[in-house]
Amino acid sequence: MSANKSFSIISLGCPKNTVDSEVLKGYLESHRMDYDQEPDNADVIIINTCGFIESAREESVETIIKALELKKTDPEKKIIITGCLSQRYSDQLRLELPEADGIFGVDSTDSIVKSLLNTSDSCEDVERVRSLLTPGHTAYLKIAEGCDNQCSFCSIPLMRGKQKSRSVDSLLREAEYLSQKGVRGLILIAQDLTRYGRSM
């Protein structure tokens, strides 16, 4: 795919998904792909799914089906599925949605970028690449990923793995970058904020 194609991201679920979508958006823009807020107009639609509760799974599936409908009138349009739903149900989605152009789990920014741009470059410097989907004055700062709790009602560890806290230096670099972009308020997020640092 040429580097001047347009893309749109539909980010479902929690703020942590929003951050993942913003990182992916930043990488694709840095490779000269154009972001289009309207999925119908984009050459590539990326759906960052949620798989946490039944209503979120249903919303994700409905969004995927709606996007795939667009391929009937525009076969060149690419539909990429990523996020928690495809992390947990990847085999089932590949079986039931063969018309999707890519199915990726969480932490797949590198793989998605490589598949769309036919590049071998690795995605690095995550702290300085985000392109916000939130209003410009505020942003989420994801300080950790995953969860070590084994709550019987929760599937987060199955989809996001064990807790991994980010280093203070990494967080400071990202906060500084966001400040330079005009962000004045940061909202700290994680699956379990109270356990930050225990996995470092």
Give the pLDDT confidence of 40-83 residue by residue, as tens digits: 999 999 999 998 888 999 999 999 999 999 999 999 999 999 99
Rounded CA separation 67/69 (Å): 5
Q: How many domains does the structure of the chain reveal? A: 2
The DSSP letter of residue 198 is T
Long-range pairs, 151-159, Cβ under 8 A, ≥24 = 155/51, 155/52, 155/88, 156/52, 156/191, 158/88, 159/51, 159/52, 159/84, 159/87, 159/88, 159/105, 159/106
Residue 65's domain is classified under what CATH number?
A: 3.40.50.12160
Q: Show the domain range for 69.
A: 6-117
Q: Tens digit of pLDDT for each residue in 169-198?
A: 999 999 999 999 999 999 999 999 999 988
Residue 148's domain is classified under what CATH number?
A: 3.30.750.210
The answer on 159 and 99 residing in a single domain is no
The answer on 109 and 56 residing in a single domain is yes
pLDDT at 199: 66
Among 91, 117, 143, which residue terminates a domain?
Answer: 117
The answer on 12 and 93 residing in a single domain is yes
The answer on 98 and 184 residing in a single domain is no
Rounded CA separation 111/197 (Å): 28
pLDDT at 2: 46
Among 87, 117, 147, which residue terminates a domain?
Answer: 117
The answer on 154 and 108 residing in a single domain is no
The answer on 22 and 107 residing in a single domain is yes
CB 160, CB 106: distance < 8 Å: yes
In a domain, 122, yes or no: no
Work out the number of other CB atoms within 10 angstroms of the CB of residue 186.
Answer: 16
In a domain, 66, yes or no: yes
Instruction: Please tell me the pTM assigned to this model.
Output: 0.91
pLDDT band at residue 1 under the 50/70/90 scheme? very low
In a domain, 43, yes or no: yes
